């Protein structure tokens, strides 16, 4: 794992975007294969589940943060959230969703296979991302829902 961290650091500093992509894929494959060979199967399945979940979720929070908090000069038709509102509401929703996720795992998903748990987790993440798309595309205003209610 240390060699993977060193290789990734070198690619970040000296490599191109394409080299970084290939390097990350190669390092991930090597770590997964060696993990399945060296770590007990139950633990490695949980690690692999977490890895698959993280790899399958594309995060564009930097761009959406700028969109949500831009002023009228920068973005004439933006939602104009204040930083306090955006961070507070985001934290509350994130914490409530996290508690719900822990509850659902304890009650439902701990009895399911990894595949079912992974698919349901990805579907929930996609569903949560739909709200960002609705606000960015301004569809909520067309149906009469204000930005602060989304």
Alpha carbons 127 and 139: distance in angstroms, whole number: 16
Is 52 domain-assigned? no
Is 104 domain-assigned? yes
Q: Which residues contact 82 (CB under 8 A, 6 or more apart)?
A: 69
Tokens 């494959």 map to which residue? 29
pLDDT in tens, 81-95: 888 998 999 899 989
Please tell me the pTM assigned to this model. Answer: 0.58
Which burial class, exposed, middle or buried, applies to 135 when counting CB atoms under 10 A from its CB (0-12, 13-18, 19+)?
A: buried
Position 95 scores a pLDDT of 95
**pLDDT of residue 143 exceeding 80:** yes
Is 20 domain-assigned? no
pLDDT in tens, 37-84: 999 998 898 888 888 878 877 777 777 888 888 888 888 888 888 889
Position 132 scores a pLDDT of 85
Domain that holds residue 115: 57-149
Is 12 domain-assigned? no
Q: Which residues contact 23 (CB under 8 A, 6 or more apart)?
A: 7, 8, 11, 15
Number of domains in the chain: 1
Is 127 domain-assigned? yes
Mean pLDDT of 134-143: 88
User: By C-alpha distance, which of 18, 41, 38 is closest to 30?
Assistant: 38
Mean pLDDT over the full length of the chain: 87
Q: Return the percent helix, strand and coil in the chain, to nearest 5.
A: 80, 0, 20
Is 76 domain-assigned? yes
User: By C-alpha distance, which of 33, 53, 54, 36 is closest to 45?
Assistant: 36
Neighbours of 11 (CB within 10 A): 19
Is 118 domain-assigned? yes
Is 33 domain-assigned? no
């Amino acid at each position: 794992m240390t060699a993977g961290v060193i290789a990734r650091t070198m690619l970040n500093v000296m490599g191109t975007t394409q080299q970084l992509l290939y390097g990350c894929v190669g390092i991930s494959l090597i770590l997964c294969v060696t993990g399945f060979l060296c770590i007990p199967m139950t633990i490695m399945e949980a690690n692999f589940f977490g890895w698959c979940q993280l790899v399958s979720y594309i995060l564009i929070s930097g761009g959406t943060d700028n969109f949500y908090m831009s002023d009228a000069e920068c973005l004439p038709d933006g939602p104009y959230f204040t930083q306090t509102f955006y961070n507070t509401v985001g934290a509350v929703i994130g914490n409530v969703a996290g508690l719900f996720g822990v509850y659902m795992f304890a009650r439902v998903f701990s009895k399911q296979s990894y595949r079912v748990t992974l698919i349901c987790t990805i579907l929930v993440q996609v569903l949560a991302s739909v709200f960002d798309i609705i606000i960015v595309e301004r569809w909520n205003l067309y149906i009469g829902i204000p930005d602060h209610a989304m």
